[in-house]
Structure 1
């Protein structure tokens, strides 16, 4: 397995995102991922930088660590032809270190353009068309496209990396087959073996599978527990709810009754390496090849990196390397 570092734009100021990754590269993380939102989930998180501006800075500030969106929605706020252009540019700027992670999106971020939020079946139709367009444009030729949801009129990318940007697709359940057909890697937010198996059986055999673990590292367990609750309570209702809520105020209302103990079941807290190794084991057993860690709290990033370099990463490499 490889172990990555998550840049959570919704909790961290944009300049700190850059310095955080410079130091994460030095600490020995194998790759990085960055969220791509218009809003934070909760007002208390307080940030939501434009990920693509940050990525340009990251490409110049770092040297070898791979970069990846986790994930970009190409169906509303961004037209897929524009996503293809900026992903290709990132491929050039990063000397081939960039992977385009894609997902079908959330109302939270996409409603800002005022077109309404489509039903889930329509969103997945749009997602499939978008990936076809992006993949075609990465080929370097002129692209014309007339689909049910998108049109492209004689588009062409002039700045392309030496090798096409890899595409990752976030999928769960039956949609893993779509990722197997169209993507170079699978992204999934739960360690469910059946999803990975379906991805492999439908044509994704041998392709990487990426996941993410939210964590709350620190030496005071109770403080970590409260910080985990404050940062991650928004995810407790599950994806079917999360994808539909339109704003931070709605997430606040939906998570009023979420308790710290409801969150820490899935968020390792404190400084016991064994707890983190056990959390990773669940993903390893499910067939994941890449796991990134998303540390709670912008002011606690440096402490996590220092501990990870000295203790966590060596333990994980020994166990799962």
Structure 2
């Protein structure tokens, strides 16, 4: 059966609210959770972007069962991979083994803030592969020295290291990232239900490993209100990763999506309170071969109502379907 997860969307709620939401998600019966790691929201209307790793630390303490995962963090520009390794090891200890480290090549939206420029996609993939190797070396224990194309590490060691390191997931969008994930990752992450991505991941060594997807949804008893909110806060979602990774700020996303209509968003994101619409939206992920799908409820202040509805209505519908 496919597992259904909950997304702590840092772009649409403050840190205390995010922790409260994942506690409620655990109580509602979600199988796992994921957390975005942003410096900016996609659009000004989302209104938030707290530091994801502080939120995750608090969530690890406040919950006891639900798995946690970054979806995803970029270990190359805003963060050095040696620092990511330390953060991930610490969080795995705090959560008593419930953390998975989801990695990706990043977005200009978040990484430009440190003033290092935004490399081409080929360079970003090179940086990601080198970063993964550094992180795995540190997870293995002992002192690590590294002189690479993009990173240096000088006698680094993780002093608080779990007996089993956190699994590493890599986000994919094309053949090159699928090949990297197949070689280096314990699981694959994708934002679109494309079977060809999973097939490529399998060909490169990922056969039998978990496959995690993500889907925005917009629950509301008033479907028209749900469509308006989804359009206001999530119309950027359909841009595709090649576009979304390049734009530098919320104003750019607002400009790029100015002609997207509410009906366009409603065609891509299930809106309202009919659970069958949500089940049908997840079905392409199941048919493509995903083993886990994390839902993103659009609207920070709507999370409590969504989680109550999910507990009573939506999750039972999912489990009946699969």
TM-score of the aligned structures, taking structure 1 as reference length:
0.98
Partner of 2:216: 214
Shift of 1:93: 0.5
Partner of 2:241: 239
Alpha-carbon distance between aligned partners in 1 of 2:51 and 2:106, rounded to the nearest angstrom: 16
- Is the Cα–Cα contact under 8 Å of residues 9 and 34 in structure 1 kept in the other structure? yes
Query: Structure 1, residues 259-298: CA drift from partner, whole Å, max 9, x if none?
Result: 1112122211011111111111100000000001100111
Partner of 2:40: 39
Partner of 1:14: 15
Alpha-carbon distance between aligned partners in 1 of 2:301 and 2:124, rounded to the nearest angstrom: 36
Helix, strand or coil: the match of 2:278? Answer: helix
Partner of 1:121: 122
Partner of 1:60: 61
Alpha-carbon distance between aligned partners in 2 of 1:236 and 1:28, rounded to the nearest angstrom: 29
Helix, strand or coil: the match of 1:264? Answer: helix
Residue 275 (structure 2) pairs with residue 285 (structure 1): no
Alpha-carbon distance between aligned partners in 1 of 2:286 and 2:148, rounded to the nearest angstrom: 38
1:1-321 aligned within 5 A: 1-174=2-175, 175-320=177-322
Alpha-carbon distance between aligned partners in 2 of 1:135 and 1:272, rounded to the nearest angstrom: 44
Shift of 1:201: 2.0
Alpha-carbon distance between aligned partners in 1 of 2:208 and 2:133, rounded to the nearest angstrom: 22
Task: Say which is worse superposed, 103-112 or 228-237, in terms of deviation.
Answer: 228-237
Shift of 1:21: 0.7
Stretches of structure 2 that go unaligned for 5 or more consecutive residues are none
Alpha-carbon distance between aligned partners in 1 of 2:44 and 2:187, rounded to the nearest angstrom: 33
- Is the Cα–Cα contact under 8 Å of residues 2 and 291 in structure 1 kept in the other structure? yes
Shift of 1:149: 0.7
Give the CA RMSD over aligned residues.
0.8
Query: Structure 1, residues 61-87: CA drift from partner, whole Å, max 9, x if none?
Result: 001110000000001000000000000
Alpha-carbon distance between aligned partners in 2 of 1:247 and 1:93, rounded to the nearest angstrom: 33
Query: Structure 1, residues 19-77: CA drift from partner, whole Å, max 9, x if none?
Result: 11111100000110000000111111111000000011001100111000000000100
Shift of 1:240: 1.3
Alpha-carbon distance between aligned partners in 2 of 1:129 and 1:168, rounded to the nearest angstrom: 15
- Is the Cα–Cα contact under 8 Å of residues 215 and 296 in structure 1 kept in the other structure? yes
Shift of 1:250: 1.1
Alpha-carbon distance between aligned partners in 1 of 2:208 and 2:267, rounded to the nearest angstrom: 31
- Is the Cα–Cα contact under 8 Å of residues 144 and 153 in structure 1 kept in the other structure? yes
- Is the Cα–Cα contact under 8 Å of residues 173 and 241 in structure 2 kept in the other structure? no
How many residue pairs match? The answer is 320
- Is the Cα–Cα contact under 8 Å of residues 236 and 257 in structure 2 kept in the other structure? yes
Shift of 1:241: 1.5
Helix, strand or coil: the match of 1:212? Answer: strand
- Is the Cα–Cα contact under 8 Å of residues 74 and 105 in structure 2 kept in the other structure? yes
Query: Structure 1, residues 153-179: CA drift from partner, whole Å, max 9, x if none?
Result: 111101011211110000122121210
TM-score of the aligned structures, taking structure 2 as reference length:
0.98
Alpha-carbon distance between aligned partners in 2 of 1:236 and 1:273, rounded to the nearest angstrom: 22
- Is the Cα–Cα contact under 8 Å of residues 236 and 262 in structure 1 kept in the other structure? no
Query: Structure 1, residues 75-123: CA drift from partner, whole Å, max 9, x if none?
Result: 1000000000000000110000000000000011011111111011111
Task: Say which is worse superposed, 68-77 or 304-313, in terms of deviation.
Answer: 304-313
